[in-house]
C-alpha cells in the first residue's frame, strides 16, 4: 500500500528529510519518556499531587512561552545551528539530572528548572524544524512529509508512557539518561543535513527589525490573508474542544470506577489509529480537495458525541475517539502543506510559531473545560454541549470560501509552480531592462 501512495518513494530517497525525521523521531520518543516521568518523580520527591502536576505544567509553560520568539529566530538564523544548539542543551539538561541522581540526589527545584528549560528548547526547535522541512522537501512531497511527522508523534505518544514507566521502575534516573542520549543522537544526525539552512534571503535589503517588529510582521502576514486567519482561529478552537471531549470521556470512565487497564485502552487506541491515519494520510490527501478534507475532519467529530453521551463504556469510548482521530493526520498535513507553500521562506518560522502558539496555548484549558462541564451538567449533557460547540467550530471552515476553494494538491501545486515561474520571468526581464 505504501508504494502506491504519492511521495513515499521520493521521501525515502530524500537524504536530508530522512536524517531530520529519524533524528527527531528518536528525540521525540525520549522527550515523551521524560514528560511521563516528570510528575512521577516530583510526586516521589514531595508526596504532593500538586507538585507532580506542576512538573508537567512547567514543561508546557516553557514550550508555549518560547514559541513566538523562536519563530523570529528561525527566520533570522541558521536553522540547523539553532536545532543543534537546542539538541545539545537538551542532552546537557537531562544529563544534569542523571549526574545529580548519582551524587547529591535530584531536588524538586532542579527538576522544575529542567522541565521548564527543556520545554523552552522544544518550543525553540519546532519553528526551525518546520522551516527546515520546507527547505529540504519539494512542494509535491510536503503532504507526505507532514504525514510522516504526524506518524512519529503518535508513535512517541503510544510508546513513550509505557517505556518511561518501565525505565522509571528499574532506576529512577534511567529515563533521563535515555533522553539525554536521544538528544545527543539528534545532534549528530542534524549535522548530516546537506541543504543550506542559513537565514533565508529577503527580497529587499532592509536592516533587521527588532523582536517586536518581526513578530508583528509575521502576525500581519496572517491577518492580511483570509485563509490564514480562518485556519488560526479554527485550529485553536478545534484543538481545545477535541481535547476537552477526549478528556471528558476519560473522566467519565474514571468516575464510573472502570479498571485502569480498561481506561488505558482509550489511550492505546488513540495512538494506534493516529499512526494508521498518518500512514493513510498521503492517499487521502491526494484524492480529496484539500479544503473539503479540512471541513470533513471538523465534522467527523460531531456524530461521535452521540455514542460518547449515551454509552459510557471503555470499548465504546475507544472506538469513538479512534474513529475521530483517524482523519486528523490527513487534515493537518493537507492544509498544513498548502499553508507552508503559500508562506514566503523568510516568514516560515514566524507564521508557523504564531499558529502553533494559538493552538497550543489553549491546551491547558481543555481539562478545565471538561471537568467544569462534567461537574456542572453531568456526563451526558456535558458531552452534548461539547458536540454542539464542535459543530459550531466546524462551521468556521465550512462557511469560509478561502478554505472551501482550496483544490486537490496536484492542482494547487501546479498553480503555485506557475506563479513562481511567472514571478521569476518578470524578475529576469527587469534585470535585463
Distances (CA, A) of 20 to 35, 86, 130, 157, 192: 22, 14, 11, 19, 9
CB 275, CB 154: distance < 8 Å = yes
Pairwise CA distance, residues 173 & 268, whole Å: 26
Please provide the DSSP assignment of 103-172 as one string: TT---HHHHHHHHHHHHHHHHHHHHHHHHHHHHHS-GGGHHHHHHHHHHHHHHHHHHHHHHHHHHHHH-T
C-alpha dist (Å) from residue 359 to 1, 240, 320, 355, 417: 33, 8, 23, 6, 30
Q: Which of 46-60, 82-96, 327-341 has the lowest mean pLDDT?
A: 46-60
Quick: pLDDT tens for 236-257: 999 889 988 988 888 888 777 7
Q: Are 143 and 409 in contact (CB under 8 A)?
A: yes
Domain coordinates in residue numbering, the chain:
1-194, 221-433
pLDDT at 7 over 60: no
Output the nine-digit C-alpha cell for 231.
485556519
pTM of the predicted model, to two decimals?
A: 0.79
Looking at residue 387, its pLDDT comes to 92
CATH architecture label of 1-194: Up-down Bundle (1.20)
Angle, vertex CA 121, rays to CA 119 and CA 124, nearest 5: 115
Confidence (pLDDT) at 2: 45
Give the angle subtended at the CA of 179 by the CAs of 178 and 184, to the nearest 5°: 100
* CATH class (in words) of the domain with range 221-433: mainly alpha
Whether 1-194 shares its CATH topology with 221-433 is answered: yes
User: pLDDT confidence of 205, banded at 50, 70, 90?
Assistant: very low
The C-alpha cell that represents 254 in the structure block: 474514571
pLDDT at 415 over 70: yes
Sign of the alpha-carbon dihedral angle for 383, 389, 395, 397: negative
- For the record, the C-alpha cell of 224 comes out as 492580511
- Cβ atoms of 230 and 403 closer than 8 Å: yes
**Is the per-residue pLDDT at 420 higher than 90?**
no
Phi-psi domain of 407 (left: phi exceeds 0; alpha: psi -120 through 50; beta: other)? beta
Range of lowest pLDDT (103-117, 258-272, 395-409): 258-272
301-358 pLDDT, tens digit per residue, is 999 888 888 888 888 888 888 888 888 888 888 888 888 888 887 788 888 888 888 8
pLDDT of residue 6: 46
Residue 206, pLDDT above cutoff 60? no
Amino acid at each position: 500500500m505504501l508504494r502506491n501512495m504519492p511521495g513515499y518513494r521520493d521521501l525515502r530517497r530524500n537524504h536530508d528529510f530522512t536524517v531530520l525525521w529519524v533524528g527527531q523521531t528518536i528525540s521525540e520518543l525520549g522527550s515523551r519518556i521524560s514528560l511521563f516521568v516528570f510528575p512521577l518523580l516530583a510526586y516521589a520527591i514531595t508526596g504532593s499531587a500538586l507538585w507532580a502536576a506542576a512538573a508537567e505544567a512547567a514543561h508546557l509553560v516553557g514550550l508555549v512561552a518560547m514559541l513566538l520568539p523562536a519563530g523570529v529566530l528561525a527566520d533570522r538564523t541558521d536553522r540547523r545551528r539553532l536545532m543543534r544548539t537546542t539538541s545539545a542543551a537538551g542532552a546537557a539538561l537531562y544529563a544534569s539530572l542523571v549526574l545529580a541522581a548519582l551524587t547529591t540526589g535530584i531536588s524538586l527545584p532542579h527538576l522544575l528548572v529542567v522541565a521548564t528549560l527543556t520545554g523552552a528548547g522544544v518550543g525553540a526547535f519546532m519553528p526551525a524544524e518546520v522551516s527546515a522541512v520546507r527547505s529540504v522537501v519539494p512542494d509535491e512531497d510536503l503532504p507526505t512529509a507532514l504525514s510522516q511527522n504526524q506518524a512519529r508523534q503518535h508513535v512517541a505518544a503510544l510508546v513513550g508512557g509505557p517505556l518511561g514507566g518501565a525505565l522509571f521502575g528499574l532506576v529512577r534516573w534511567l529515563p533521563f539518561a535515555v533522553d539525554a542520549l536521544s538528544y545527543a543522537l539528534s545532534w549528530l544526525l542534524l549535522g548530516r543535513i546537506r541543504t543550506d539552512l542559513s537565514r533565508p534571503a529577503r527580497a529587499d535589503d532592509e536592516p533587521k527589525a527588532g523582536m517586536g517588529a518581526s513578530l508583528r510582521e509575521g502576525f500581519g502576514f496572517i491577518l492580511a490573508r483570509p485563509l490564514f486567519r480562518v485556519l488560526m482561529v479554527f485550529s485553536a478552537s478545534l484543538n481545545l474542544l477535541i481535547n476537552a471531549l477526549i478528556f471528558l470521556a476519560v473522566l467519565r470512565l474514571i468516575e464510573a470506577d472502570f479498571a485502569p487497564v480498561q481506561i488505558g485502552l482509550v489511550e492505546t487506541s488513540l495512538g494506534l489509529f493516529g499512526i494508521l491515519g498518518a500512514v493513510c494520510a498521503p492517499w487521502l490527501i491526494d484524492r480529496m480537495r484539500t479544503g473539503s478534507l479540512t471541513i470533513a475532519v471538523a465534522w467527523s467529530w460531531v456524530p461521535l458525541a452521540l455514542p460518547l453521551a449515551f454509552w459510557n463504556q471503555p470499548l465504546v469510548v475507544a472506538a469513538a475517539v479512534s474513529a475521530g482521530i483517524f482523519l486528523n493526520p490527513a487534515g493537518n498535513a493537507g492544509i498544513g502543506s498548502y499553508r507552508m507553500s503559500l508562506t514566503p521562506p523568510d516568514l516560515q518560522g514566524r507564521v508557523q510559531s504564531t499558529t502553533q502558539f494559538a493552538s497550543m496555548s489553549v491546551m491547558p484549558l481543555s481539562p478545565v473545560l471538561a471537568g467544569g462541564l462534567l461537574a456542572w451538567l453531568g456526563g451526558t449533557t456535558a458531552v452534548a454541549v461539547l458536540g454542539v460547540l464542535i459543530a459550531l467550530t466546524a462551521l468556521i471552515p465550512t462557511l469560509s470560501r478561502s478554505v472551501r476553494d482550496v483544490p486537490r494538491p496536484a492542482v494547487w501545486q501546479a498553480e503555485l509552480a506557475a506563479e513562481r515561474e511567472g514571478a521569476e520571468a518578470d524578475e529576469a526581464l527587469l534585470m535585463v531592462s
